Structure 1
Amino acid sequence: MILFRYLTREVLLTMSAVAGILLLVIMGSRFIRYFSDAAEGDIPVTILGSLMVFHLPGFMELILPLSFFLGILLAYGQLYMNSEITVMVACGMSPMRLLRVTLLPASVVAVLVGLCSLWLTPAGALQTEAALEEQRSRLDVSVLAPGRFQDFGGGRTAYISDFSSDGTEMQEVLVHEQPVAGAEKTHSYVTRAGSGYQETSMETGSRFLVLEDGERYGVTPGKQAAERLTFERYTLRLGLSRNRQELDSLEYATTTELWNDPSPRAQAQFQWRAGLPLMVFVLALLAQPLSRVNPRQGRFAKLLPAVFLYVAYLSLLLAAVDAVGKGVLEVALGVWPVHGLFLALGCLLLWHSQRKGMR
């Protein structure tokens, strides 16, 4: 029991350090991307935190298997360097017993990965896309920046000169509406107003841009005639709240929906999600014999080959998912041969380590 706690602590501490570094790098990269979009006025700054939280499960489902794999390599490699494994062998520790000890924390990591891949990641992706889609479908005062033309989707472009002191009213507003392809209206409208503000209907949820003291021009390309409207108050409908059910991509579908969908694309997505927890156990089986190093070699001697092996595993898995989705591979066969291949490789390496001994 003492030995089990010691080995588990070493592996999990090393895994946590690696996972923290990888998560910091990936989250930082995504945050910079979203922050750049917010600086351009594409999304409001207020939803940046929510977007990062929604992306977290998708990052963790890929980071945890890799960090656990590296955690075993580095932790056990250090034990070999300090000759602690030699002492364990003298006390009756065999590779199979060490594997049983390793599989216990692997089970915890696999549960976390399965929780992310089967439930949290698709839910977070749906929330992220719904939030971004809502920003694309409406003109929101919170993302407007004075002195800049900004595109808000639907063929609309807006410009304001400044905000009022309390930030609720816009000054010198210009809105250009380009006809959308396939729409009945062919006019291109330009609306200018001295001021404007945004309001939301409590009954329908519709959003409106209320413009005051301005003019509205409508022209049709190729025609000399034009429309001109002078108004004291003009209400421009920005759009309704989007229903999340419109986001029907398989990436956002629940695992139950994928299980009940017999299409190759749905089954490929399901096998990808279900295969990630299995990947944790296969990587644990591969990492144990790969962590065996000579004290003269150093603990990082087999780290680079192990990383290449992980990249090959993940690349073949992604290629198999793509092939199943396109119908090149049979759904019944799926991605499981890839897992079987590396499982067999892990068993071969473990057998070789058992035969050679843990000296």
Structure 2
Amino acid sequence: MLFDSTVRRELARTFGATLVVILTIVLTMFLIRTIGQAASGVVAPQDVVLLLGYVALGHLPTMLTLSLFVAIVITLGRMYRDSEMVIWFAGGVGLARFVRPVLRTSWPVLLVIAALLLFVWPWGNRNSLELRQRYEQRSDLSRVTPGVFQTSSDGSRVFFIERDKREGADARNVFIVAQTAETEAVTSARSGRLEREGSDRFLVLERGQRNDVDLKTGEKALSSFETYRVLVDEKRARDAERQPPKAMDTLDLLNDPTRQNQGELAWRFGLLTGAGNMLLLGIGLAAANPRRASNWNLLLALLGFVVYFNLINLSQAWVASGRVGMGAALAGVHGTAFAVALALLWWRDHAAVFSWGRRRGARA
């Protein structure tokens, strides 16, 4: 049918352009944040691109939902401003008739959103968490960037390395400042390396000197050494079973219905349900006055999206804290949104039909 093909073609074209714009903006923001984390020592610099990919995949369902919602509002809003809606309404096509072409265009996107939320989201979070933990569990010497003063993980030591070799296992011109509540020690060495004995790891320094200062009495002690060994404290690997709910598979969350897991399930299923409700809300919120060249309908629609998305996050917190059950949260938030969308469609549809009928009666 000409009506369906026209709406679907324009909606698909607008969705593609909107998605490109949103992806560009969001990925740029994530890239800046990830580079900042790498500069501050939170993540490894060589993992920036990989971590950015995981983060982008995790937020892709939200970006797809927003792009689809904005595309519907822009497409139908343009039809309102160009008076195309008046022609369709005069031909007996109500606003509810637009639901069919919108759904036929959007169902592949909804399937992608479902796959991303149920499968890709936990996989990306799990891999991202592993990258961060792997970098945090490295020794203090391995985390130092050559030519940069860097603080240890517990904040008690400052390291400086002129040049390192073999992936940070060996180092040259090592400078270490260690401070406790009573003493301060400055150690310098020509070279250093890491050695493991059983479950302990030692930092072995060669050909250097150590200057100890008693902060209470002011006494100083200077000593030289050919070899100096010090135990390096490291964080133990976290138990894999203690991974956060966002990194757990959907089936595992269903098999272990704790409050936190149900909160995560409420968020995943809620965002998927919200994507469907956004289609109906977009059709109802797209109405615009053809006599006013403004985009207030788009601003109002974006405000509605922000409120709805925050309610989804709030429902997750409610379920995780035990205030409401998962079923009640899903029914309350998304059932209300669905009812509002249907009421908005009914009001827009009947208002348009009534307005057109009143104009015909006045002319007669």
- TM-score normalised over the length of structure 1: 0.81
- Counting only pairs closer than 5 Å after superposition, residues 85-234 of structure 1 correspond to structure 2 as 85-89=85-89, 93-138=93-138, 139=140, 141=142, 143-148=144-149, 150-155=150-155, 157-163=157-163, 170-176=171-177, 191-197=187-193, 210-215=204-209, 230-232=225-227, 234=229
Which amino acid is the alignment partner of residue 352 of structure 2?
G
Q: Give the deviation of 1:255 after TM superposition.
A: 1.3
1:300 equivalent in alignment to 2:295: yes
Which ranges of structure 1 fall in alignment gaps of 5 or more residues?
180-185
Match of 2:245, SS state, is: coil
Which amino acid is the alignment partner of residue 71 of structure 1?
A
Which amino acid is the alignment partner of residue 115 of structure 2?
L
Cα 1:105–1:176 shift into 2, 3 Å? farther
1:6 equivalent in alignment to 2:6: yes
Question: For residues 258 and 171 of structure 2, what CA distance do their matches in structure 1 show?
Answer: 50
Q: Give the deviation of 1:235 after TM superposition.
A: 7.5
Question: For residues 222 and 320 of structure 2, what CA distance do their matches in structure 1 show?
Answer: 52
Question: For residues 108 and 286 of structure 1, what CA distance do their matches in structure 2 show?
Answer: 19
Cα 1:40–1:280 shift into 2, 3 Å? closer
> Which stretch shows the higher mean deviation, 233-242 or 63-72?
233-242
Is the 8 Å Cα contact of residues 23 and 59 (structure 1) preserved in structure 2? no
Task: Tell me which structure has the larger Cα radius of gyration.
Answer: 2
- TM-score normalised over the length of structure 2: 0.80
Q: Give the deviation of 1:304 after TM superposition.
A: 1.9
Question: For residues 116 and 140 of structure 1, what CA distance do their matches in structure 2 show?
Answer: 38
Match of 1:357, SS state, is: helix
Is the 8 Å Cα contact of residues 137 and 154 (structure 1) preserved in structure 2? no
Cα 1:244–1:70 shift into 2, 3 Å? farther
Match of 2:244, SS state, is: coil
Indicate the residue corresponding to 1:325 in structure 2. Answer: 320
Q: How many residues align?
A: 351
Which amino acid is the alignment partner of residue 287 of structure 1?
G
Q: Give the deviation of 1:140 after TM superposition.
A: 5.9
Indicate the residue corresponding to 2:75 in structure 1. Answer: 75
Q: Deviations 1:24-65 (Å, cap 9, x if unpaired)? A: 223222222222333345543211101100101222122221
Which ranges of structure 2 fall in alignment gaps of 5 or more residues?
357-364
Indicate the residue corresponding to 2:279 in structure 1. Answer: 284
Instruction: Give the structure with the larger helix fraction.
Output: 2
1:265 paired residue among 254, 260, 265: 260
Question: For residues 14 and 148 of structure 2, what CA distance do their matches in structure 1 show?
Answer: 50
Indicate the residue corresponding to 1:182 in structure 2. Answer: none
Question: For residues 228 and 349 of structure 2, what CA distance do their matches in structure 1 show?
Answer: 83
Taking only the aligned residue pairs, the percentage that are identical comes to 25
Q: Give the deviation of 1:268 after TM superposition.
A: 1.3
**Alignment RMSD (CA, Å):** 3.7
Question: For residues 185 and 47 of structure 2, what CA distance do their matches in structure 1 show?
Answer: 31
Indicate the residue corresponding to 1:253 in structure 2. Answer: 248
Q: Give the deviation of 1:82 after TM superposition.
A: 2.5
